Chains A and B, each alone.
Chain A
Amino acid sequence: MTERRIGVFICHCGGNISDYVDVAAVRDAVAELPGVAYAETAMFACSDGTQQEMVQRIEEEGLDGLVVASCSPKLHLTTFRGVSRRAGLNPFQYTQVNIREQCSWAHTDDRAAATEKATGLVRGAIARTAESDALVPRSVDTTAASLVVGGGVTGLRAAIGLADLGLDVHLVERGEELGGEVARLGRTFPDERYGRSMVDELIAEIGERPRVTVHTSTELAAKSGSFGNYDVTLASADGTSTTARVGSIVVATGAATYEPSPGEFGFGLTGVVTLEEFTRDLESRHGRLHFRGRPVRTVAYVYCVGSRQADGNEYCSKYCCSAAVHASVEAADLDPRVRQYHLYRDVRTYGRFELSYEESRRRGSTYLRYPDDDPPRVVPTEDGRLRVTVTDLLTESTELAIEADVVVLVTGLVPRENAELTSLLHLPVGSDGFYNEIHPKLRPVETVVDGVLIAGTCQSPKTIGESVASGMAAVTQSGAMLMRGVAELDPQVAVVDPDACTWCGACAAVCPYEAISRQELSGRPVAVVDPTGCKGCGGCVSYCESDAIDLLGNTDAQVRALIESMVEVPA
């Protein structure tokens, strides 16, 4: 094998690295290593000037590999892949070494040890780069159309956004009508609009956009093809079906409201209702608050019903505190004399909802904090009302009894039953039952399946505003993927060495994406990976008894070279 010509740049990051790591010593320690053609330090590797210098060095020195030791790859992997590309070097022959977050900043107390470690990390990266291959992303033509699954507020707003970008949209709703859960809500914060009115406005907007085709009483029945060109079959309840070709799929199937079990906080007793029922059937008669025709003088709200339970849904449903607080303001609007008690564990009325919380207290709501392990108890009284007993942590755990006309159970959200859709689209489901994005902050609507996006409360409990925002993120992501007409697929996928493969089927059996199939090669069966179906997880690699599978970008040769060169073992 001819010697590689690798260029190494070690960044000072101002002083973020060089205050704690002797970067010149790192350069000197690696400059003479086999395969290294050039090594230098840089004050800011990411600066325009240094980027230009890198391009120049790669061209002048004829470099065939690049190592940049600087910050986390989360920050500048793309930057230096761009440098490589501009210099005519394959971007996958560039390796970023994190000597800031994972070295200088973590070892500010020991310069010698931090320098030693940085040297080891750079040495490893050089060895890894020496084993790297030029990888070429597969380019695919994409279809300028999207499928939106779910006609709730998130899906409706996403469909409008997609159409406004110039994409054709198929909006599929399982139910007979568009609108989802929000259509059933009463007044909402901060605009005091009814859910139905918001939804109707969105539906009217959809009607004005000929690019959107609405399919109600319809489900996604089949999906084939790959990223950029999915062929979908939409089956209608009337037995007919249509097909469409789309570039992306936005899943906005929403969540369901938690249904309390009979007897849970008195659920089933007259007057014990969910928050949704309470806001829907609330009214004022002659200036007095009435619920379902009966006068109401005292309301008790029990928070966290169905949420944050050790033996149930462990998560916080996030929107319910704000919704309950807002409902109490609405009740006070209808009847300023109504007495309202909020039995809570923690009030989570973040952002603007804090205003609503303040307003509710100003209007006379009383907040009582109950212990996690001692929830309130609800029993009927002889005169047809309800007695709620609660331990109030804020008054030295005094036990209080509240006689109420209505007990409102502030219920959270639960994931919907969508087993068929989940399996059809290979959507990852978390332990809480909601769909998982790649990263909640860095890649909040993408799934590992390219072109399949998730938005709204199918991901996790959200407010209406947050749901719509995530729907718009899915719109933007679809636009970024589809509006150029061509897309590149990550080439870092699994490959099978057909000479080593003896076809046992183990890899195909463990691939949840069905990307591995059995094919005949020169009269014998071998495993073949479909590069458009493979997600590059590497989950099949260790199941191969013949060691015939490699993950490009993290090949056996690359990782072993890295492991074996990081620590210098004295002879």
Chain B
Amino acid sequence: MDGPAHPRILVFSTTNISDPGIDLAGSRHLHYPASVFTLSVPCSSAIRPGWIVDALRHGFDGVFVAADGDECALLPDCNQRTARAVSLAQSRLTEEGLEPQRVTMAAICSVCAEPFVNHMREFAEKLAPLGPSAHAA
């Protein structure tokens, strides 16, 4: 087995907001690359920068954080907190010689099926010229 096709994308979603949006994309049979894997957390502010780096070291070519926008019931300022974690992760990637643009974030709401699918296609296109993550092979 040589694993799913590139680019492999890890999506961090949130249990109450973006995960239902991603579920809806499937319920509507909207297609996106099967190399996209989703991992859900209660709130995107719970994502450790180290997890993002870890993903790019263990077979993923890109990390997409599906944030809550301003809908998060847990933390009104979770977007700023998540953005901070993402930029910390990007600095670490730069230090390790990996492209910071392998990490991105956007708000995905609980009915954002089409925007999610579009984000996945666009992100996959942006990652393609970068090739597999240097740590993957």
Contact = CB atoms under 8 A, between A and B. Distances in A.
Interface string A112-123: 011011001100
Contact of A539 (B19, B59, B74): B74
A436 B71 contact: yes
B58 A72 contact: no
A569 B31 contact: no
A214 interface: no
A567 B8 contact: yes
Given A106-B32, A568-B3, A570-B2, A101 B26 contact: yes
B78 interface: yes
A491 B43 CA distance: 16
Interface in A311-325: none
Interface string A548-571: 000100101001101110111110
Contacts of A535: 74
Interface string B31-49: 1101101110111011111
Count chain A CB atoms within 10 A of each CB in B16, B34, B54, B59 and give the residue with the most.
Answer: B34
Contacts of A539: 43, 45-46, 74-75, 78, 81
A567 B4 contact: yes
Given A563-B55, A567-B8, A568-B3, A538 B23 contact: no
B73 A437 contact: yes
Interface in B51-97: 51, 54-55, 58-60, 70-76, 78, 81, 84-85, 88
A98 to B, nearest CB: 7
A74 B71 contact: no
Contact of B4 (A105, A113, A437, A441): A113
Contacts of A560: 51, 54
Contact of B3 (A116, A430, A538): A116
Given A563-B39, A570-B3, A541 B46 contact: yes
A542 interface: yes
B123 to A, nearest CB: 15
A560 B50 CA distance: 9
A197 interface: no
10 contacts: A120-B3, A428-B72, A428-B73, A428-B76, A430-B76, A431-B70, A438-B73, A439-B110, A554-B46, A563-B10
Interface of A: 72, 74, 98, 100-110, 113-114, 116-117, 120-121, 124, 428-431, 436-443, 447-448, 492, 510, 512, 535-539, 541-542, 551, 554, 556, 559-560, 562-564, 566-570
Interface of B: 1-5, 8, 10, 16-17, 19-20, 22-27, 29-32, 34-35, 37-39, 41-43, 45-51, 54-55, 58-60, 70-76, 78, 81, 84-85, 88, 110, 136-137
